[in-house]
Amino acid sequence: MPGIPHSRPSFGKPFAQAAQQVIQSGFLAQGDVTTALTQTLQTQLSGQAVLAVDSGTSALMLAIRALSKDKKQARVGIPAYACASLLFAVKNADAKPVFMDCTTNLTLDAEQAHTTAKDLDILVLVHPFGMIEPLVSEPFDCPVIEDIAQSAGAMWQGKAVGTFADVCIGSFYATKPWGGAYGGFISSKDEALIQSITKMTNPDQADLQQDYVGHHQLSNIHAALAQVRLSHAAAEQQQRQTWVNKYDAMLKNYAVTPITGIQGNHFRYIIRSEHTAENVIQTLQQQGITAMRPVQQPLHHAIRDANCPQADKAWQYCVSLPLLHNMNEQEFLLLSQGLATCFKS
Percent of the chain residues past pLDDT 90, beyond the cut: 93
Tens digits of per-residue pLDDT, 148-172? 999 999 999 999 999 999 999 999 9
Indicate the pLDDT class of residue 327, thresholds 50, 70 and 90. Answer: very high
Report all structural domains of the chain as residue ranges with CATH numbers, in order of start. Answer: 13-228 (3.40.640.10), 233-343 (3.90.1150.10)
| CA quadruple 282, 292, 247, 105: dihedral sign | positive
pLDDT given at position 299: 97
CB 92 within 8 Å of CB 156: no
Q: How far apart are CA 316 and CA 272, in angstroms?
A: 9
* Whether residue 253 has pLDDT greater than 90: no
pLDDT confidence bin for 43, thresholds 50/70/90 = very high
Rounded distance, CA 102 to CA 236, Å?
28
Q: At 157, is the secondary structure helix, strand, or coil?
A: coil
The pLDDT value given to residue 343: 87
DSSP 74: -
Helix (H, G, I), strand (E, B) or coil at 128: helix
- The overall average pLDDT reported for the chain is 95
10 Å CB burial of residue 330 (0-12, 13-18, 19+) is: exposed
Helix axes 329-343, 277-286, angle to 10 degrees: 130
Instruction: List strand residue ranges (DSSP E) for the chain, in order.
Output: 49-53, 75-79, 96-100, 122-126, 131-132, 144-147, 155-156, 159-160, 167-171, 184-188, 256-258, 262-263, 269-273, 318-321
How far apart CA 134 and CA 258 sit, in angstroms, is 19
End-to-end CA distance of the chain: 27
Return the pLDDT at 1.
45
The answer to whether 107 touches 133, Cβ cutoff 8 Å, is: yes
Of the pLDDT bands very low, low, confident and very high (cuts 50, 70, 90), residue 231 is very high
Q: What residue type is assigned to position 280 of the chain?
A: V
Residues 247/269, Cβ–Cβ less than 8 Å: yes
What pLDDT is stored for residue 344 in this prediction? 76
Q: What is the pLDDT of residues 78-132, one digit of tens each?
A: 999 999 999 999 999 999 999 999 999 999 999 999 999 999 999 999 999 999 9
SS3 80: coil
Q: Find, among 202, 174, 246, 190, the residue nearest to 15 by Cα.
A: 174
Whether residue 230 contacts residue 40, with contact meaning beta carbons closer than 8 Å, is answered with yes
- Given a contact cutoff of 8 angstroms between Cβ atoms, the answer to whether 179 and 173 are in contact is yes
Weakest mean pLDDT among 51-55, 231-235, 239-243, 251-255: 251-255
Across 29-43, b (16+ Cβ under 10 Å) vs e yields ebeebbeebbebbee
For residues 108 and 81, give the distance between their C-alpha atoms in angstroms, rounded to a whole number: 9
Cβ-count burial 160-199 (b if 16+ within 10 Å, e if not): bbbbbbbbbbbbbbbebbbbbbbbbbbbbbeeebbeebbe
Burial class (CB in 10 A: 0-12, 13-18, 19+), 205: exposed
pLDDT tens digits for 2-13? 689 999 999 999
